[in-house]
A and B are shown apart, each in its own frame.
Chain A
Amino acid sequence: MSDPSARKPKVLLDAEFSELYRAHLRDVYSYAYYREGNHHDAEDLTEQTFLQAYRHFERAQRESRGRPLRPWLIRIAHNLAANLYRDRSRKPASSIDDTSVLTAPHTTEQLVEGRDELSRILDGVRQLPDDRREALIMRFALGMDNREIARALGRSDGAAKVLIHRAIKQLEKLVGEERPQVAAPDASLADAQLAHDGSDPASVRRR
Chain B
Amino acid sequence: MNEALPNFELLLREALAPVEPPADLVERLESTLTAITEMAADELESWELSAMRDPRNWARPAAALVVGGAAGTALVLLRARRRAQEASARRSSLAGRGAELERSAERAIRDLAEHTRRLLERR
Residues of A at the B interface (CB closer than 8 Å) are 7, 9-12, 14-15, 17-18, 21-22, 25-27, 29-30, 33-34, 39, 42-43, 46-47, 50-51, 54-55, 101-102, 104-106, 110, 114, 117-118, 121-122, 125, 136-137, 140-142, 168-169, 171-173, 175-176, 179, 183
The one of A11, A29, A172 that contacts B5, using a Cβ cutoff of 8 Å: A172
- A46 to chain B: which residues have CB within 8 Å? 21, 25, 29
Shortest Cβ distance from residue B80 to the other chain A in the assembled complex, whole angstroms: 11
Please determine whether B2 and A172 come into contact, CB atoms closer than 8 angstroms: yes
Q: Is B68 an interface residue (CB 8 A)?
A: yes
Please determine whether B68 and A121 come into contact, CB atoms closer than 8 angstroms: no
Complex: chain A residue closest to B73, CB-CB:
A11
The one of A10, A27, A39, A54 that contacts B22, using a Cβ cutoff of 8 Å: A39
The one of B1, B13, B19, B75 that contacts A173, using a Cβ cutoff of 8 Å: B1
Q: Is B64 an interface residue (CB 8 A)?
A: yes
Please determine whether A14 and B8 come into contact, CB atoms closer than 8 angstroms: no
The one of A11, A55, A104, A136 that contacts B19, using a Cβ cutoff of 8 Å: A104
- A14 to chain B: which residues have CB within 8 Å? 37, 71, 74-75
> Between A and B, how many residue pairs show CB distances below 8 Å?
126
Q: Is B42 an interface residue (CB 8 A)?
A: yes
Please determine whether B64 and A10 come into contact, CB atoms closer than 8 angstroms: yes
When chains A and B are docked, how far (Å) is the Cα of A39 from the Cα of B21?
Answer: 9
28 contacting pairs across A/B (C-beta < 8 A): A7-B43, A10-B64, A14-B37, A14-B75, A17-B75, A18-B77, A18-B78, A26-B20, A27-B18, A29-B25, A34-B16, A47-B91, A102-B17, A105-B19, A105-B20, A106-B14, A110-B14, A114-B14, A117-B11, A122-B15, A122-B16, A136-B12, A140-B9, A142-B18, A168-B12, A175-B8, A176-B5, A179-B4
Q: Which residues of B, 52-92, contact A by the 8 Å Cβ criterion?
A: 64, 67-68, 70-71, 73-75, 77-78, 91
- B12 to chain A: which residues have CB within 8 Å? 121, 136, 140, 168, 171
Considering the complex of A and B, which 9 residue pairs feature the smallest CB-CB distances, nearest first?
Answer: A14-B74, A105-B17, A29-B21, A121-B15, A141-B16, A15-B74, A140-B16, A118-B15, A30-B18
